[in-house]
Amino acid sequence: MLKKRVESSFLNSYYNKTKSVDFVLLFILLVAFVLRFYDAFNIPITHDEYSALNRIHFSTFNELIQKGIREDGHPAGVQVFTYYYVRLFGEQAFVLKLPYLVFGVLAVLVVYQLALLWFGKTSAVISATIYASLQYTVVNSQIARPYGFGILFCLLVAYYWTRYFYKNDTKWYYLVLLIIAAIISVYSHYFASLYVAIFLTLAVLLAKNRQQVWKLLMVGGFVILAFLPHLPITIYQIFDKGGIQGWIGPYKPTYIIVYFLIVLHQSWFLITVYLATFIFLFRYSKERLKLMLFSGGVFILSFLIGSVYSYYYMNVMHERVLYFAFPFILLSVSGFFRKLPVNKIWFLAIGLTAVTVFSLVIERKHYNLFYKNRYLMVQQKKQEWEIKLDGRNLIVLNYFKYPAQLEKKLFFEGHQYLINSSTLLPEVDSCLSSTHLQNLMFLNCDFPPPEIYPLITSYFPNVIQKEFTIGGEALLFSKSDSSKQRNQDKSEVIIYPKFPLQGNLSDWYFSKYNFIDFIVYCDTNNIISNQDFSLTIESEDKVYYKRSFVFMNRANKVNQGYASLRLIDLSFPEEAVFKVLVNKEITVDSIKISCRPGNPYLYAHVKKIPKNLDRFFLE
């Protein structure tokens, strides 16, 4: 009787502990759900999603392949899914994003289950908690693109491999589901394909017997056969169409540091808490070493192969391409965590959730900035400013191409111009020189030449109001010389130069978010070429930036040439100097140099957000 009571007590205790840990999982899933579904009906459609939607409106499947997929840079899987999904359910933002939001929550569950099978409950709870709360994972669950789609199936590849091969639970359907998950993964994104190849290759090294090796080779064979119909498209996309280096820029060996700073919210507070947690929980376990090396190897090889390709061929490395391998570096680190009692597991789950969510909401301002769609923001500001100015004396410059889905909604009437050609500055100059209107609205959702700002202020010298968000800005200018409205550039100097004009860049570097503008004034009759003057940044005979500029050809007026430095896009040492060189046959009257504030949220999705914006605005 006593023995039975002891056994009963043990079972009840075990049941309560198991039940408690299950409640921790429910808590983590609830956090994941809330963070992804918060205000879900107002999550905006991003530019990337609009791009995908623009490539699904075809009458036949063959047309979709030729025009909507072949000319893109991704495999066909997600685009085909979107094609049929939109036909069935429509393009409304919440409906479009719903599968990806659900996949994002399910991915947290699979991370938990993987860590539980590999390293135990403590590792499972902490891995899933961090994965549920980081902006990196939240935002990719809120965007209807291949990343939120492919990550779930990449994780399922690992889960079903673990069940069938590592845990020897040889139910036939685990093997079938492994093959299906792998095929869906390779059709979602090329880096997901790379992940599958790396995972299955490393899995062969962990095979327990020859039979497992043959089965893994069979899995790989089925995946290759399933992908063969797509091979001509892949060859065209990689070798004929070209890459995406134009907007990413050249690969830098320090990218891995940049990547982890993005993942960790650019927050030393968050990094310190995570590091302290790691130190507190650290315990080396030889039994876990194989899986830790296996998991870490998946991420490291994904990064190394992508880096070699980017360095020697074309740069494809940005934070989202490593998204498919990211959970595995998290799982690898969690292998060092020692076992904890349930009460401490709860404490860590709640504590890490609180810290990460604080960083997400307060430091990263995720629900303020990400939800502030640039296209809708400029439309709202336009409507507001039209009311403010009673719709009169207003000219509108738009620097972006509206997504097709917004053309009707964002249609502008009256004096409005869409500018996005290579002859941008002469077009704007011609437009502004002939207008009699007193106010100008500049709506920008792209990356215009920075010289457009000083060009506008040469006709409309005063900034009345401005609004910024990620990748977009709305600026209201006026010809009025009211002191209340006048734009005050804190640093401005007019020089009567001898060339080459040279100055210390540090004297003008108040913030990386600012611009430095150069306006060169010369006599009308001196315009002679398409490269009238140049601007360089140099240090110790090394050139960090060089660009040529032309003057506006204005009849019977003093001609002006414009050059601007967007400091956030430039890299140079503190001792660097700028040099202005003008064609020797041109007579320069004077040069105006000034510093102005830029958009502090321009790259807020990947860069640190300034806490005190007053420091960065010079008005």
Distance of alpha carbon 295 from its chain centroid, rounded?
A: 25
Backbone angles phi, psi at 91, to 5 degrees: -105, 5
Residue 447 lies in a domain: yes
Can you give the pLDDT at residue 108? 98
CA dihedral sign of residues 91, 97, 103, 106: negative
Residue 537 lies in a domain: yes
Question: Is residue 150 included in any domain, yes or no?
Answer: yes
> In which region does residue 529 sit, left (phi positive, over 0), alpha (psi from -120 to 50) or beta (all else)?
beta
pLDDT at 360: 96
Quick one: pLDDT band at residue 421, thresholds 50, 70, 90?
A: low
Q: How confident is the model at residue 402 (pLDDT cuts 50, 70, 90)?
A: low
Burial class (CB in 10 A: 0-12, 13-18, 19+), 76: buried
CA quadruple 195, 197, 200, 206: dihedral positive or negative? negative
**Is 608 a domain residue?**
no
Mean pLDDT of all residues in 459-484: 83
pLDDT above 50 (res 269): yes
| Same domain membership, residue 505 and residue 478 | no
The tally of domains found in the chain comes to: 3
Q: Does residue 505 sit in the same domain as residue 439?
A: no
State pLDDT tens for residues 178-192.
999 999 999 999 999
Q: Are residues 65 and 29 in the same domain?
A: yes
How far apart CA 113 and CA 284 sit, in angstroms, is 21
Higher pLDDT among residues 20 and 350, named by residue: 350
**Reading across the β-sheet that carries 542-549, which strands appear in turn?**
501-504, 577-582, 533-539, 542-549
- Regarding whether 219 and 131 lie in a shared domain, the answer is yes
**Residue 468 sits in the same domain as residue 504:** no
Residues 430 and 508 in one domain: no
Average pLDDT, the chain: 85
Name the pairing type of β-strands 588-597 and 439-444: unpaired
Q: Please check whether residue 556 lies inside any domain of the structure.
A: yes
The reported pLDDT for the residue numbered 552 is 77
Tokens of 508: 């003008």
15 within some domain? yes
Residue 136 sits in the same domain as residue 19: yes
- The answer on 593 and 476 residing in a single domain is no
d(CA 584, CA 579): 15
Domain boundary among 369, 389, 417: 369
Identify whether 607 is part of a domain.
no
Which pTM was predicted?
0.86
Pick the last residue of a domain from 349, 369, 389: 369
* Average pLDDT of span 444-467: 87
Q: What is the pLDDT of residue 393?
A: 73
Q: For residue 163, what are its two tokens?
A: 């069940």
479, pLDDT greater than 60: yes
Boundary residue ending a domain (469, 486, 503): 486
Burial 319-345 (b: 16+ CB within 10 A, else e): bbbbbbbbbbbbbbbbbbbeebebeeb
Residues 453, 502, single domain; the answer is: no
> What is d(CA 372, CA 17) in angstroms, rounded to the nearest whole number?
43
Instruction: Work out the number of other CB atoms within 10 angstroms of the CB of residue 152.
Output: 24
Q: What is the pLDDT of residue 382?
A: 85
Any idea what the CATH number is for the domain that residue 505 is in? Answer: 2.60.120
Q: Give per-residue pLDDT as tens, 311-369.
A: 888 888 889 999 999 999 999 999 999 999 988 999 999 999 999 999 999 999 999 88
Residues 67, 137 share a domain: yes
For residue 367, what are the CA distances in angstroms to 270, 352, 360, 391, 400? 18, 19, 8, 32, 24
Q: Are 109 and 57 found together in one domain?
A: yes
Higher-pLDDT residue of 108 and 11 is 108
Please give the residue range of the domain that contains residue 406.
372-486
281 and 410 inside one domain: no
Q: Tell me, what's the pLDDT at 407?
A: 52
Tokens of 136: 């990196």
In a domain, 297, yes or no: yes
